[in-house]
């Protein structure tokens, strides 16, 4: 399992994984001030939501590389022949994927908070939300990647499959920013994230097994 | 260890590729699967590997398997030995480093040990995949077109590696359209 996580991390680093995600995230976060104008109060009000949207879009970037290339290279055939369970392979992929984009994204959110004039209090809420939400996002990414792996032109479908499923994460993630109802939203965010993390490896494993056939 | 097919049939995309395939391989045995393109040689190997379910019949395999397919399954960016080491560490047999070293020597890949997989030629990559199978030291080898892209020296090396595997009590099931010298091998014509 650790060997699998290390392999995926190494592949992600060598293909510029975290750098790309962080650059894209910051780029999206910068677009909003350009589009909306330099109204500091307005930016501070929408900033947390902007960060969540940017994080979601950035998380889409590496999705195609997670499962498809390995399937083509016969990597999963070799796992199966060695009797490794596809569920643990999918779990390893989820962990590796989260490590490669979750923490870098949380660091980049600090920068984005500066760009968007967020208060320290809001930033803290964003960071807590991201820490809870990004594992769910990683799990969703692995499932999506496994589901579209065998599809021709999977790239275009990826966003269509993943974004609607990520809407609960976005709603509750942005909900945690609300000072009044924040605590409830954090619990719901954690619940959604937990369901995704717990269920995703099984769905991804089934999708990979179907693709092997 | 043994590998047996009992009246196995294979259906792909609604088409019956072959049926009533039966054979038994015991320690030291080998079988060559022959037949024209598209007759289901690769599917037979995948059924033996447990990646495809047979449409009909039973497959019994006792012992760890090592599979060679068209895809090398080696990470393009990694140096040859590191890529082999990854798979060797996932195999059940102990001491992955020694197994990789033996396989690299057997396939004459020493000079390429530090070269990334993506820089290898087709034939070298094929030899690297054969080294992955050899390094597994699994008793049952399932080889799909192992001689593709190999020059005559490498084909001789491949034959020697398979012969040594069988001498050590291993089983080899080989699908090939190229002539391959496997003394005493059963022929399974599809």
CA-CA distance, A127 to B167, in Å (whole number)? Answer: 61
pLDDT above 90: residue A95 = yes
Query: A74 and B75 in contact by Cβ < 8 A?
Result: no
Q: Which structural domain range is residue A64 located in?
A: 2-212
Query: A80 and B50 in contact by Cβ < 8 A?
Result: yes
CA-CA distance, B139 to B171, in Å (whole number)? Answer: 6
Q: Percentage helix, strand, coil, to 5, in chain B?
A: 35, 30, 35
CA-CA distance, B110 to B119, in Å (whole number)? Answer: 15
Mean confidence (pLDDT) of chain B:
89
Tens digits of residue pLDDT in A110-159: 988 888 888 888 888 889 999 999 999 999 999 999 998 877 776 778 88
Q: Which of A112, A120, A99 is nearest to A31 (CA)?
A: A112
Task: Please compute the mean of the pLDDT values over residues B157-178 and round it to a whole number.
Answer: 90
Note the pLDDT of residue A37. Answer: 81
Tens digits of residue pLDDT in A22-35: 899 999 988 888 88
Shortest distance between the Cα of B21 and any Cα of chain A, in A, equals 20
Q: Which chain A residue's Cα is nearest to B82?
A: A7
Query: A213 and B50 in contact by Cβ < 8 A?
Result: no
- Measured in degrees and rounded to the nearest 5, phi and psi for residue B7 equal 50, 45
Query: A73 and B72 in contact by Cβ < 8 A?
Result: yes
Shortest distance between the Cα of A75 and any Cα of chain B, in A, equals 5
Residues of chain B contacting A81 with CB distance shorter than 8 Å: 49-51, 65-67, 142
- Measured in degrees and rounded to the nearest 5, phi and psi for residue B11 equal -120, 125
Shortest distance between the Cα of B73 and any Cα of chain A, in A, equals 5
Mean confidence (pLDDT) of chain A:
88
- Return the percentage of chain A with pLDDT > 90, whole number: 33
Note the pLDDT of residue B119. Answer: 92
Residue B72 at interface with chain A, using a CB cutoff of 8 Å? yes
ipTM value? 0.90
pLDDT above 90: residue A181 = no
pTM: 0.88
Cβ atoms of residues B77 and B114 within 8 Å: no
Question: For residue B115, what are the β-bridge partners?
Answer: none
Q: Which chain B residue's Cα is nearest to A83?
A: B64
- Which of B67, B75, B78 is nearest residue A77 as measured by Cβ atoms? B67
Work out the pLDDT band at A190, boundaries 50, 70, 90: very high
Query: A77 and B87 in contact by Cβ < 8 A?
Result: no
CA-CA distance, B149 to B98, in Å (whole number)? Answer: 27
Note the pLDDT of residue A132. Answer: 92
Q: Which strand ranges, in their side-by-side order, compose the sheet holding B65-68?
A: B65-68, B140-144, B171-175, B30-34, B186-189
Note the pLDDT of residue A8. Answer: 86
CA-CA distance, A51 to A110, in Å (whole number)? Answer: 10
pLDDT above 80: residue A75 = yes
Task: Please compute the mean of the pLDDT values over residues A46-74 and round it to a whole number.
Answer: 87
Residue B56 at interface with chain A, using a CB cutoff of 8 Å? no
Note the pLDDT of residue A176. Answer: 86
Question: What is the domain count for chain A?
Answer: 1
- Which of B49, B53, B73 is nearest residue A73 as measured by Cβ atoms? B73
Query: B90 and A213 in contact by Cβ < 8 A?
Result: no
Note the pLDDT of residue A48. Answer: 85
Q: Which CATH architecture has domain B2-189?
A: 3-Layer(aba) Sandwich (3.40)
Q: Is the dihedral of CA A103, A104, A109, A110 positive or negative?
A: positive
Residues of chain A contacting B69 with CB distance shorter than 8 Å: 74, 77
Note the pLDDT of residue A88. Answer: 93
Note the pLDDT of residue A58. Answer: 87
> Which residues numbered 96-155 in B keep a CB inside 8 Å of some CB on A?
142
Tens digits of residue pLDDT in B175-188: 988 888 888 888 88
Task: Please compute the mean of the pLDDT values over residues A34-58 and round it to a whole number.
Answer: 85
């Amino acid at each position: 399992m650790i060997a699998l996580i290390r392999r995926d991390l190494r592949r992600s680093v060598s293909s510029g994984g975290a750098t790309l995600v962080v650059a894209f995230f910051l780029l999206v976060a910068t677009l909003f001030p350009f589009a909306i104008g330099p109204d500091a109060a307005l930016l501070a009000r929408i900033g947390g939501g902007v960060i969540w949207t940017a994080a979601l879009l950035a998380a889409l970037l590496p999705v195609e590389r997670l499962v498809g290339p390995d399937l083509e290279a016969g990597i999963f055939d070799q796992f199966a022949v060695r009797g490794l369970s596809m569920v643990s392979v999918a779990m390893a992929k989820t962990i590796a994927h989260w490590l490669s984009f979750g923490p870098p994204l949380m660091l980049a959110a600090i920068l984005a908070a500066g760009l968007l004039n967020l208060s320290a209090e809001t930033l803290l809420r964003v960071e807590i939300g991201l820490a809870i939400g990004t594992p769910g996002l990683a799990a969703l990414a692995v499932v999506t990647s496994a589901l579209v792996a065998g599809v021709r032109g999977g790239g275009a479908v990826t966003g269509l499959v993943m974004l609607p499923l990520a809407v609960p994460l976005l709603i509750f993630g942005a909900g945690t920013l609300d000072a009044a109802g924040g605590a409830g939203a954090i619990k719901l965010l954690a619940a959604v994230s937990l369901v995704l993390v717990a269920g995703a490896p099984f769905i991804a494993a089934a999708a990979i097994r179907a693709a092997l056939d | 260890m043994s590998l047996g097919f009992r009246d196995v049939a294979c259906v792909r995309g609604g088409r019956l590729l072959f049926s009533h395939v039966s054979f038994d391989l015991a320690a030291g045995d080998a079988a060559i699967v022959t037949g024209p393109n598209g007759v289901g040689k690769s599917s037979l190997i995948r059924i033996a590997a447990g990646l495809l379910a047979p449409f009909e019949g039973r497959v019994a395999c006792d012992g760890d398997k090592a599979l060679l397919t068209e895809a090398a399954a080696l990470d393009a960016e990694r140096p040859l030995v590191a890529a082999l080491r990854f798979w060797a560490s996932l195999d059940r047999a102990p001491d992955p480093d020694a197994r990789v070293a033996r396989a690299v020597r057997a396939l004459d890949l020493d000079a390429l040990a530090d070269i990334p997989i993506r820089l290898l030629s087709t034939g070298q990559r094929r030899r690297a995949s054969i080294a992955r199978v050899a390094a597994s030291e699994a008793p049952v080898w399932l080889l799909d077109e192992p001689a593709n892209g190999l020059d005559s020296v490498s084909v001789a090396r491949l034959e020697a590696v398979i012969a040594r595997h069988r001498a050590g009590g291993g089983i080899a099931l080989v699908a090939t359209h190229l002539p391959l010298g496997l003394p005493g091998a059963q022929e399974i014509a599809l």
